[in-house]
Structure 1
Amino acid sequence: MKTKFSGMLTLLLAFVVQLTFAQEKTISGTVSDDSGLPLPGATVLVKGTSTGTSTDFDGKYAIKANQGATLVFSFVGYASKEIAVGSSNSINVSMAEDAAALDEVVITALGIKRNAKELSYSVSTLKNEDITKTKAVNVTTAMVGKVAGLQINTTNNGVNPSTRVVLRGGNRSLLGNNEALVVIDGFPSDRGVLDRINPNDIENVSVLKGANAAALYGSEATNGVVLVTTKTGKGKLKVTYNGSYQVENAAYLPEFQNEFGVGGFPDGTLFPLENVAWGPRFDGRLVDASETLDNGDVWQVPFTPIEDNHKDFFRQGSTVRHGITVSGGDDNGTFLMSLDQTNTEGIVPNDAYNRTNFRLKGSKKYNKLSVGGNLSFFRSHSNVVGAGGRQDRPLYWNIINTPLHLPMEQLKNWRTGEFTRNETSYFAFYENPYFIVDTQRLKSDINEFNVLAFADYEITDWLTASLNVGYTGSNTTTKREYGAFTYAFELENTYARMDEYGARTADAMLTSSRLNSDFMLKFNKDISEDFNVQLTTGQNTRIEDDNAIAVAGNDLIIPDFYNISTITGNILAGDFPDSGSGNQRTRNYRRMSVYGDFTLGFKDYLFLSATGRNDWSSTLPKDGNSFFYYGAGLSFAATDAFDITSDKGLSYLKASVNLTKTGNDPGLYRTQGTFFAPTGFPYGTTVGLSQSSTVPSPALNPEFTTSLEVGLETGFFKNRLTANITGYKTNSTDQIVNAGISYASGASTAVVNVGEIENLGIELDLNGVILKSDNFKWDVGLTWTAIKSEVISLADGVDELSLGGFDSAQVIAKVGEPYPQLRTTSYLKDDQGRIIVGDDGDPIQDPTNQIQGKTTPDYILGLNTNISYKNWNLYAVTDYRTGHVFYNAIVDAIEFTGLSQHSATAGRQPFVFPNSSYSDGNGGYVANDNRLTSGGGNAFWDSYGEIKENYVSDATTLKLREVLLSYTFDGDALKAMGVDDLSIGLFGRNLVTWRPASNVTTDPEFNFTTGNAVGVGDQNQTAPTRQFGMSVNLTF
C-alpha cells in the first residue's frame, strides 16, 4: 500500500511540475510612447515577483511568465501599465505621460528594485547620458551640479585629479571618514573607484543621500551611498564605439603686481638673481639675468614685466579616449564586453596619465535559476612632477614666483644652456622650474582586478534566494625620484649660490584585497487584495587585508639611476601609496552582519517600511564588538489614494517621513596599542620598537547618527513640472577623536568617545519641460541645497578641536559654532571692527587666533538645461556655491616674494592702513586718518604676511561646468550601412569660473587634503584649467 501511495504521489507531483512548466512561456513585444516611438530602457516586471527585464534600443523586450500572470510596464516620466498574460505570446504596449509618471523603478540598497513611490527617503538617479555627455575622464567630476545635496570638490588639479565626494555637507564626523560609500553592482568599494571606473560602462547612478537610505549597507553607509549599476547586454548583438579628443589649457593664474622687479635688501636695490620682487621699478633697461662667466659673458634681458609669462610655462594638454562595447541579450541570457583606453598629457611638461579599463559581464537563466558574473580589470600609469629640491618647494610655487621679466620659454635648456644651466642659474636660492619637471618625478602604477558573481533561485513566485559574492585585489607601486643638483664647474665671481644636493629615491608598494558576500531571501507577495508584503533578510561578510612596504634613501651612487640598492647610508622610512609613512604596515579588518528590510503596502498608495542591521566588527573591543541600528519610514502617494489629478494641474503628490539610527565603527587599531620601529632607536643600527603616542581605548563605542527626514514629491501639468523637496536633521554622537593628554603619561593623545554634531538641511530638485513640440524641446533642471551644521558638545572641559591645517591657519570644531570653522592669526580690532594700529601706524596682532568663518558652503545651486531641435542638441550645466571662506595659500606665497598686488600698495611707501583706528588714551578708539605705517617695503609686508587673516577669501564661485553641442545622424543611408546610431559633438568643461574680487588667485575648491580639514588652500597644485573637445558615438 505504501508503495502504491508513493507511486501515485510521484505521478501527481510530476503532473503538477509538468503543468507548471507548460503554463510558463516567453512573452515578447515592443514598448513605445503614444506617438509610436520606441522606449529603450523601459522596465518590465512580473507582478508580485522579482522577475524582470528592460527593453532594448528598439523598445523590444522578452520575458518568461505564466499564463494569468500580470506584467507591469514602467518608464521614467510615463504612466505604468499592467497587462494580464493571456493566450497570446505577444504583448505590445503604448505608454503615455500621466499622473503616474513618477512610478518608475529605481535601484536601492543591496541592488533591490523598488517603485519610487514606495520609498520613504530621497533617491536621485543619473542616467548614463548624464555622466558621459561631455566625456569626463572620471565619473566624479561628471556628477557635479546634477544632484541636490551632493558636493564634489576637486582638491587638486593635474592629469589624475583627486576629488572629495560628500552628501549633505559631509559634516557628520569630526575626525572620521565623511565621504559617501560607493557601491558597484552591489559590491561596496573604496571611494576612489569612481575615479577609476569607465564611465561608458555605467547604466545609471542612484544617489542614496542620507543614513535613512543606506542603513542596510552597514556602518560605511552612514554618509550616504553612490550606487553604480553597470550596463547589461540587451536585444540584438550590437557594437558601440565611443571616441573623444580634448585639449586642456591653463585657465587663469594669480594676478600679480607689475610695477617692481627683483631685488631688495635694502628696498629698491636691484639683485638680478633673486626671486623676491622688492627691487626697483621696472624701467626697460637691460639687466643681468645670469651669473657672469669667466670670459665676461652674461645673459641680459629687458627689465620689463612679460605679459602671461608664468602662463607660458604650461603647455596645451590633451586627452584621447577610445572605447568599444560589444553587447546583446534576451530574457534567457545577456552578454557585454567593453574595452576603454585613456591617454592624457597634462599641462605641466612631462606629466602623463594612461588608463586601461576592461569589463566582461554576462548572465544566464535556467528556469528558476539565474546566474551571472561581472569581471573587470583596471590598469593605470601616471608620471607627474613631485615635490623636491631645496625646501621641497612644489613646482607651482616655483613657477608663480619666477621673476616677471625673465622669459620662461628661454629657461628650458637647463642642462647645456650657456646661461640657464645650474652653474649660471638665474635663481640664487631655488631651482629652475624646468629642472624640477625633468628631475623630480612621482611615478605610480595601479593594477586592480574585480570579480563579482551572483545566483538567484526563484523558490516560488514570491520567494527568491540570492547569493552575491565579490572580490577585489589591487597592487599599487610608487617611485619618487629626486634628481641631484650639482655644479660641473665653479665661477670666479658669483652673486650667490645654492648648496649642491645629491639624488634621492623612495619606493613603495601597497597590496590590498576585499571580499564581500551577501546571502539574501527576498519575499514579495500580495497577501490580500489590499496588502502587499516585501521582506528581504540577509547575512553579510566583509574581509579586508592590506600590506604596505616603503623604503627611501639618499645620495645615490649613480646619478639618474633611481635604485634603492645604490643609496649611501641607511635605508629610511618612505611614504605609503595611500597615507602615512614607515617601512612596513599590515592591516586587517573583519565584519559579520545580519540585516532585514520590510515594506508593507496598502492599496499601492500607503507604504510602511522598517530596516534593521546588526554588525560585529573587528575594530571594536572583543567584548563589545556588536552594535545594532535600525530605521522606519512611511510613504503616502496621495494621487493614487484620491482622485485629485488634473491635466492642467496636479499630476502627482507623495509625502514621506523616515527616522533612522545608524552606527559607524572606528578606524583600525583604535582599541589596542600599536608599535613601530623608529630610526636609530634605541641607538645606531640596533632595531627597537616604540609604542604609539596615542593611547587606545579598550572600551570604545561606535559613533551613532540619528537621522530624521521628511519629503514631498509633486508633479504638475502631466508631470512637465516636477518638484521634490526634502528636509533632514541628523545628530551624530559618540564622536571618536584623539584627545590631548598630559605628556607625563608617556603619550600625547588618547582615543575617546566625545561630543555631538547636528546637521540641518533642505534639498530641492526642480525639473520642467519649458517648451515642447514635434521638433523642439527645452528641459531645465535645478538643484538647491541649504546646509547648517553646529557642534553641540565635545569632551568635558574641551571647547574646541583642531581638524588640521597649520599653526597660523587651522580648521577647527568649536562648541556652539557652525562646523567646520577656519581660525587664523588675526589683527586686534576695536568694538566697531576696525583694525587697531600702534604709535608707528602698523596694525597690532591679536594675541589670540580668531575665527574667520565657515569653510563649507551654506548654499549650493545647480542648473542644467537641454535644448533639442530636430537632430541638434545643446546642453549646459552650471553650479553656484556660497556662504563659506577659505585660506588662500597661493596669495600668501606670492606675498612672500613681493609679487602680490597687495605688496605694491601706495607705491611701496608708508600709507594709512585701511579701516584702522588707534587708542585715544581714554579707553576709546578714533578712526585713523593720519598715522602712516612704518614702511611700505619688504619689512612691512613680511610682518603683514604673518597675519593669515589677510589671506582669508570669500570662497563663492559660479562655474560653467559643462557645455555640449551635438548632432545625431539618421536616414536610410545609415541603415543601409548597418549603422543604428551615429552622433558627433563639441564640448567644453569648466569654461568660465566667476570669483569675487577678494579672490583673484585660485580655485577655492582646491584643498591641501581630501579629509575633513576643508578650507585650507594648497600650493601643491597646477593652474586651474578649461577643456575643449569633440566626440563621436557610433552603434552598429
Structure 2
Amino acid sequence: MRTKNYWMALGLFLFVFGTVLAQEKNVSGTVTDQEGLPLPGVSIIVVGTSVGTQTDFDGNYSIMASTGSTLRFSYIGQKTVERKVGASSVINVSMEEDAQALEEVVVTALGIKRKPRELSYSVASVDNSALTKTRAVNTVTALAGKVSGMQINTISNGVNPSTRIVLRGNRSLLGNNQALIVIDGFPADRNALDRLNSDDIKEISILKGGNASALYGSDAANGVVIITTKSGTGKASITFTSTAQLDNISFLPELQDEFGVGGFPDGTIRPLENVAWGPRFDGSLVDASEQYEDGRVWKVPYSPIPGNHKSFFQTGSLIRNGFEFSGGSEKSSFLFSIDHSNIEGTVPQDKFNRTNARAKGMYDFGNLQVSSNISFYRSHSNTVGVGGHQARPLYWYLLNTPLHIPINQMKNWRTGEFTRNEVSYYAFYENPWFIIDTQRNKSNDSEMIFISDANYKFTDWLSALVRVGYTKYTYDLKEYHGGLSYSFELPVTYSRIDEFSPSTRDYIYNSSRFNSDFIVTANKNLSDLLNVKANLGHNIRMTDYKVIDITGNNLIIPGFYNVSTRTGELQGSETSQNYRKVGVYGDITLSIGDFLFLNGQGRNDWSSSLSKENRSFFYPGGGISFVPTDAFKGLKGTLQYLKASFSISKTGNDPGPYSNSTTFSAPAGFPFGSTAGLTLSGTDRDPNLKPEFTKSMEAGIEFGIFKDDRLSGSFSVYQTNTTDQIVPIDISTTSGASRLYTNLGELQNQGIEVDLKGTILKSEDFSWNLGINYSLIKSEVVSLTEGVDEVVVGGPYSDNIAYGAVVVAQKGQPYPLIKTTDYERDDLGRVIVGEDGDPIPSSDLIVQGKTTPDYIVGLNSTINFKGFSLYAVADYRTGHVFYNNLVDALEFTGLTKHSATSGRQPFVFPNSVYSDGNDGYIENTNRLTSGGGNAFWSTYNDTKSNYVTDATVLKLREVSLSYAFENKLANKLGFQDLNFGIYGRNLYMWRPADNVYTDPEFNYNSGNAVGFGTQNQTAPVRQFGMTLTAKF
C-alpha cells in the first residue's frame, strides 16, 4: 500500500511540476506612452524574482515568465503598471504620465535624496551616458561644457592629465578653491574623480552654493561634486565594453620660417647655433654637426623642413577594456567591475596604464539595510621629465631645434652616423631625443576606498544611518637624469655643454582619510498638508600624510639609478601631517501642501588646525521654495511647472594643519657632514588665526513649458562674500620674520546662471534635444588689511615679480589679476616711443587683465533617429587673458612670427606715439625702431605684456555617433543589448588671432594663480575612437 501511495504521489508531483514548466513561456509586446509613441528603456521585471529586461528603441520587449506571474513596467515620469500573465503571450502596455514621478530625485548633501521642488538652491545633475559617450579616461574632462557655473582647467595634457574644478568662481584668495569630491557619501580628496572609472558612475550631482553643501563642513565651502556609483539591478548580466582611440597633435605654435640659425650681433649664419637670428634661408648646404674625429661633417640644406617639429611627435593610442557583472532584486543587489586602460602618448616613449576594480553589494533584511562598496585603483606612468644641464622641459629642447635640421635623424644619438653625440648638432642645448631617452619620471600610484553603511528603520517615519569610509593612497616616483659624457674630443674651435653626472630622486607619498557619519532621519506627515523631514548627524573626519623625498647626485654606475651609488651627501627631507575635525549638524524641511517648503540647517565644527579659542565655529543656513503651479491649479496650461526659491547660508573654511604654528626646515647646505641644522620659517603665524567664512545668497526660478516639459530651464542669481581671508602680509624683519600669516580682507563673487533644455523636434522615430547653459561671474576684492592694497597670489617662477609676470589680488579689482612689465602708454593705451623709435619701458608692473572668464556658454545636442544617436558638446569662454610663456620662449629662439614681419629691419612700432614736447602725443608714422634683429627683440622679450593674449576660446569638445541594435537582432546574436559608436574629442578650437601658440585652458599648476601657460605643457591633441558595448 505504501509503495502504491508513493508512486501516486510521485506521479502527481511530476504532473504538477511538468504543468508549471509548461506554463513558463516567452512573453513579448510593445510599451507606449499616452500618445502612442514607443518608450525605449522601460524596465520590466517578473515580480518576486530577479528576472528582468528593458524595452528597445522601438518600445519592444521579450521576457520569460510563467502563467499567473506578474510583470511590473516602470519608467521615469510614468506611472508604474502591473500586468498578470495569462493565456496570451503578447502583453502590450500603454503608460500614463505621473506628474510627481516626473520630478526625478536628486542626490543632495550627505547622500540625502530630495525632489527638486523641495530645494531652495541650485543642483545640477549629469548622468552616466553624458560621461561615457566619448570614453574620456579622466572623468573630469567629460564634465566640461555640461554644467553652468563650473570651470575646469587642464593642468597637464600628457598621458595622465590632471585637472582643476572650480564652482561659481574663487572664494579664497590663497586657500583652496576647488570643489569637494564625494563618492557614495564619502568625502574623498580633490583628485579622486580623476582616478574614478567613468563606467562605474550612475550620476553626478553638483551642489554649487553654500546652502547646498554646508552640511559637509568646511571642506565643502567651495561646493560639492557628488558621485553616486552604480548598483546592480534586475537579472544577473555581464557587460563588456571595449574602446580603441588614436590621438594626434591638433596644432603646434605658428613659427616664422624665413630666417635660420645665426648669432648676434652680426646676424650671419652660425651652423651650430640654436637661435634663428641668422640670414634668410637660401637652400645652400651648411654644417649641421661638429667635425668628427675622422674629419666628417654632417651637411644639410639651409631650408625650413615642413612639419619638422610635428614629425617628432607620434600618434598616441588608447586601448580600454571594461567588464561588469551585476544583478539585483527588491531585496539585494551586487556589482563587480574591472576596467583597464593602456595609453601611449603623442610624446615618444610616454606611457600610462591604469586599472580600476569595484565590488558593491546591498542586502535588505527588512528594517535593516546594509551595503558595502570597495574600489581599487592602480596606475603606472612613464613620462619624459624635466632634465638636461638647465633642467628644462622637453618642449623647450624641441623648439630650440632649428627648422632646417631633420630632427628625427638625431634619434639614434648613440651610434648614428652624423648624430653620435648627446648635445645634438649645436653647442647649447641637449638633443631632444637624448632628453627622451635619459630623463624619465616613472611613477606608481594606488588607491583603495572602502565605504560601508547600515540603515535601520525604526518606524515608517524614523530611521538611523551609520556610514563609515576609509581610503589609503600611495604615490611613489622614481625620477632619474642620465649624465652627459662625450664619445669623442672636439677641436678647440668648438664649444659645448660641460659634461655632468647622472642623478636620481625617490619621492614617496602616503596618505589616508577616515570619515564616519551617524545620521538620524525623520520623515513624517503631520497632517494631509504638512510634512516634516529632519536630519540630525555627527561627523568625524581624520586625514594624514607622510612624504619622504631623497635625491642622490653624481651616481657612479651609468644607467643604474639608485641613491646608494651616489658620491657626496644624500639630499633628503621628510614631511608629515595630521588633521582631525569633528562636527555636528542638523537639517529640517517643512512641506506645506507639497508646494511650499521651508528649510533650515546648521553645522558646528571643531578643527585641529585652529587654536583652542577658535577651534569651534558654527555656520547656519536656510531657504524657501515655492511651486505656484501646484498652489494655484489654474496656472497650469502651457506653463506646466514653476518654482521660485531663495536661500542664505554661511560656511566656514578652516586653514590647513599647522597654519597657526611656527615651522622649521633644513636650510641649504645642511646637514653638513655630521652637523645638522634647522632654520625658522620666514613667515610667522598668527596664533589667533580664524576660519575664512563665506556668506552666500541665492535666488532662482525653475520652469517647465508645454506637455512633458518640452522646454524646461532654470535661472539663478547669487552672491558670495568671503571674509577673514587667510593671507601672508609683509611685516618688519625685526620680528625675526618678513611675513605674517593672518586673517584679512574680503572677496566677493556675483553671478548669473541659466540652464535651458528642450526637445526641438519629436516624432515616432526622430527626436532632437538641445541643452544650453550660461554662466556670468563677476568678482571683486572688497577689502584687504589697512595699508595693504595688493597681495601676491603666485606664478610659475621663484621670483615672479623679478621675472615680470605675477598673479595678484588687488583691492577694488576683479580677482585674480595678472600684472606684467609693460610700456609707457598714453591715455588711449598707445605705446610711447623715444627718439630712437623704441618703446619706453614702464618702471612698474601694470595690470593686464583678469585670468578667469567672465562668461562661459555650453551647448549640448542629441539627435536620435531609430537606433542612431548623434551627440555633441561645445563651449565658449571669454572675458579673460592668458600669459603665454611659450611665446616668451620662442622669442628667445627667434621663431615668433612677429619677429620676422619687418624682414628683421627697423620698423614703425605698431600703435605707437611720441611726445610733442608738451603734454600731448603725435601718432608715430615715421620713427623707426633702433633695429629689427636680435638686439631689438631681446629687449622686446623683457616686456612681458607682449605675451599676454586674449584667452577667449571656442571648443567643440565632444562628438559621438552611436547605434543601438534592436533587441531582436541583438538577441539573435546572443546579446541582451549591443551598441557600437565612433567619437571624437577636442575636434575644433577657435582662438583670437593673437593666440597662434597653444590652448589657453592649460595652466601651470592647480593653484589659484591661473592664467599661466608654460613649456611644461606640450601641444594640444585631438582624439578619435570607436567603442563597442555588449550586454549578455
TM over 0.5: yes
Partner of 1:282: 281
AA aligned opposite 1:847: S
Match of 1:813 in 2: 809
1:883 corresponds to: 879
Helix, strand or coil at the partner of 1:866: strand
Separation in 2 of the partners of 1:422 and 1:230?
54
Contact 2:357–2:376 under 8 Å retained in 1: yes
**CA distance change for structure 1 residues 816 and 96 in 2, over 3 Å: closer, same or farther?**
farther
Q: Does residue 944 of structure 1 match 2:963?
A: no
Compared with structure 1, are the counterparts of its residues 139 and 41 closer, same or farther at alpha carbon in structure 2 (3 Å cutoff)? Answer: farther
**Counterpart in 2 of 1:16?**
none
- The amino acid across from 2:721 in the alignment is N
Q: Which residue of 1 aligns with 2:766?
A: 776
Q: What letter matches 1:996 in structure 2?
A: P
TM-superposed deviation, 1:319: 0.5
Give the CA deviation at 1:598. 0.5
Of 969-978 and 142-151, more deviation after overlay is shown by: 969-978
Q: Secondary structure at the match of 1:441?
A: strand
Q: Are residues 130 and 37 of structure 1, via their aligned partners in 2, closer, same or farther at CA, if it must alter by over 3 Å?
A: same
Question: In structure 1, what is the Cα distance between the partners aligned to 2:53 and 2:650?
Answer: 40
Secondary structure of the residue aligned to 2:408 is: helix
**Shift of residue 696 of structure 1?**
1.4
Q: Which amino acid aligns with 1:658?
A: S
- Alpha-carbon distance between aligned partners in 2 of 1:43 and 1:176, rounded to the nearest angstrom: 50
Q: Contact between 2:967 and 2:977, CA under 8 Å: does it hold in 1?
A: no
Q: State whether structure 2 residue 456 is matched by structure 1 residue 462.
A: no
> Over residues 163-184 of structure 1, what are the superposed CA-to-partner deviations in whole Å (9 max), with x where a residue is unaligned?
1111112x10000000000000
Q: Bigger shift: 422-431 or 871-880? A: 422-431
From 621, 633, 640, the counterpart of 1:651: 640
Structure 1 residue 617 displacement after superposition: 0.4
CA shift, 1:446, in A, is 0.6
Instruction: Give the secondary-structure state (helix, strand or coil) at the position aligned to 1:390.
Output: coil
1:373 partner amino acid: S
Contact 1:292/1:494 (8 A) holds in 2 = no
Corresponding residue for 1:20? Answer: none
Q: For 1:687, what is the secondary structure of its paired residue?
A: coil
**Deviation of the 1:743 alpha carbon:** 2.2
What residue identity is the alignment partner of 1:616? W
Shift of 1:923: 2.5
Q: Residue 672 of structure 1 aligns to which amino acid in structure 2?
A: S
Structure 2 residue 656 is the aligned partner of structure 1 residue 667: yes
The answer to whether the Cα contact below 8 Å between 1:644 and 1:650 also exists between their aligned partners in 2 is no
Match of 1:859 among 834, 849, 855: 855
User: Who is 1:315 aligned against?
Assistant: 314
**Equivalent position SS for 2:172:** coil
Structure-2 residue corresponding to 1:785 = 775
AA matched with 1:620 = L
1:691 equivalenced with 2:680 (yes/no): yes
> Does 1:975 pair with 2:971?
yes
**Ranges in structure 2 where 5+ consecutive residues have no aligned partner:** 1-28, 62-71, 83-90
**How far apart, CA to CA, are the structure 2 residues paired with 1:896 and 1:331?**
68
Structure 1 SS opposite 2:937: helix
Displacement of 1:979 in angstroms is 1.0
How far is the alpha carbon of 1:264 from its aligned partner?
1.9
* Equivalent-residue separation in structure 1 for 2:40 and 2:1023 (angstroms): 33
Deviations 1:166-217 (A, max 9, x none): 1112x10000000000000000011111110100000000011111210110
Counterparts of 2:684 and 2:592, CA distance in 1 = 54
Distance 1:222 1:600, change over 3 A: same
Residue matched to 1:485: 484
- Residue 97 of structure 1: CA displacement? 4.9
1:603 matches 2:593: yes
SS at match of 2:466: strand
**Amino acid aligned to 2:751:** G
Deviation, 1:623, is 2.4
Structure 1 length-normalised TM: 0.91
By how many angstroms is 1:683 displaced? 5.0
Q: What is the distance in 1 between the residues matched to 2:132 and 2:694?
A: 35
Aligned partners of 1:210 and 1:562: how far apart in 2?
Answer: 50
Do 2:265 and 2:935's aligned partners in 1 also have CA atoms closer than 8 Å?
Answer: no
- Does residue 416 (structure 1) correspond to residue 415 (structure 2)? The answer is yes
CA contact (8 A) 1:99 1:645 kept: no
Matches for 1:396-407 after TM superposition, within 5 Å:
396-407=395-406
Cross-structure match for 1:306: 305
Quote the Cα distance in structure 2 between the aligned partners of 1:110 and 1:731.
25
Task: For 1:511 and 1:761, locate their aligned partners in 2 and report how far apart those are by CA, in whole Å.
Answer: 39
Q: Cα offset for 1:700?
A: 0.7
Counterpart residue identity of residue 878, structure 2:
T
How many Å apart are 1:79 and its aligned residue? 5.9
Q: Deviations over 1:529-557 (max 9, x none)?
A: 11000001100000111111010021101
Q: Which residue does the alignment assign to 2:88?
A: none
Aligned residue number for residue 502 of structure 2: 503
The SS at the match of 2:1013 is: coil
1:292 touches 1:424 (CA, 8 Å); kept in 2? Answer: no
Q: Look up the match of 2:155.
A: 155
Structure 1 residues 460 and 613: CA distance shift in structure 2, 3 A? same
Residue 704 (structure 2) aligned to one of 712, 715, 720 = 715
* Maintained 8 Å contact 2:30/2:38: no
RMSD: 2.4
Q: After superposition, what is the alpha-carbon deviation per residue over 1:941-991, rounded to whole angstroms, capped at 9, x for unaligned? A: 000000001001000000000000111112534224441110111100000
Q: Does 1:390 align with 2:386?
A: no
- Matched with 2:118 is 118
Q: Relative to 1, partners in 2 of residues 1:92 and 1:761: Cα closer, same or farther, differing over 3 Å? A: farther
> Is contact 1:75–1:104 with CA below 8 Å preserved after alignment?
no
Displacement of 1:1008: 1.2
How far apart are residue 408 of structure 1 and its match? 1.6
**What is residue 141 of structure 1 aligned with on the other side?**
141
**Partner of 2:747 in structure 1?**
757
**1:372-391 equivalent positions in 2, closer than 5 A:** 372-391=371-390
1:403 partner letter: P
8 Å Cα contact 1:80-1:103 kept in structure 2: no
**Alpha-carbon distance in 1 for matches of 2:338, 2:41:** 23
Give per-residue Cα distances to partners, 1:574-623, cap 9 Å, x unaligned: xxxxxxxxx10010000000001110000111000111100000001022
Match of 2:735 in 1: 745
Report which stretch shifted further, 135-144 or 671-680.
Answer: 671-680
Query: Partners in 2 of 1:524 and 1:369 — Cα distance?
Result: 17
Structure 2 CA distance for aligned equivalents of residues 338 and 393 of structure 1: 41
In structure 2, what is the Cα distance between the partners aligned to 1:449 and 1:697?
Answer: 37
Amino acid aligned to 1:495:
Y
Query: Matched residue of 2:946: which SS?
Result: helix
8 Å contact from structure 1 (residues 118, 607) kept in 2 = yes
Contact 2:749 2:777 in 1 (8 A): yes
- CA positional deviation for 1:265: 2.0
Q: Secondary structure at the match of 2:903?
A: helix
Distance in 2 between residues matched to 1:38 and 1:717, nearest whole Å: 19
For residue 158 of structure 1, give the secondary structure of its aligned residue in structure 2.
coil
Shift of 1:391: 1.1
TM superposition shift of 1:41: 8.3
Q: Deviations over 1:779-806 (max 9, x none)?
A: 1000100010000001110001111122
Decide whether aligned partners of structure 1 residues 845 and 80 sit closer, same or farther in structure 2, where only a CA change above 3 A counts: farther
Tell me if 1:702 matches 2:691.
yes
Question: What is the letter of the counterpart of residue 643 of structure 1?
Answer: K
Distance 1:966 1:122, change over 3 A: same
Report the alpha carbon displacement of residue 425 of structure 1 after superposing the two structures with TM.
3.0
Query: What is the alpha-carbon distance in structure 1 between the residues aligned to residue 414 and residue 659 of structure 2?
Result: 51
Amino acid in structure 1 at the alignment position of 2:127: K
1:588 is matched with which residue?
Answer: 578
In 2, distance between residues paired with 1:555 and 1:347? 32
Deviation digits for residues 343-363 of structure 1 (CA, Å, limit 9, x no counterpart): 000000110001000000001
Q: Which amino acid in 2 is paired with 1:108?
A: T
Contact 1:291 1:494 in 2 (8 A): no
Count of matched residue positions in the alignment of Structure 1 and Structure 2:
973
Which stretches in structure 1 are left out of the alignment for 5+ residues?
1-28, 45-52, 61-71, 84-90, 574-582
Once the two structures are overlaid, the 10-residue window that deviates more, 813-822 or 415-424, is 415-424
In 2: Cα distance, 1:743 partner to 1:40 partner: 70
- 1:638 corresponds, among 628, 631, 635, to 628
For residues 360-381 of structure 1, give each alpha carbon's deviation from its aligned partner in whole angstroms, at most 9, with x where no partner exists.
0001111201111001100000
Identical amino acids, percent of aligned pairs: 58
Q: 1:314-345: CA deviations, max 9, x gaps?
A: 00000100000000001111000000000000
Q: Deviations over 1:689-743 (max 9, x none)?
A: 2222221111111000000000100111111111211110010000011112222
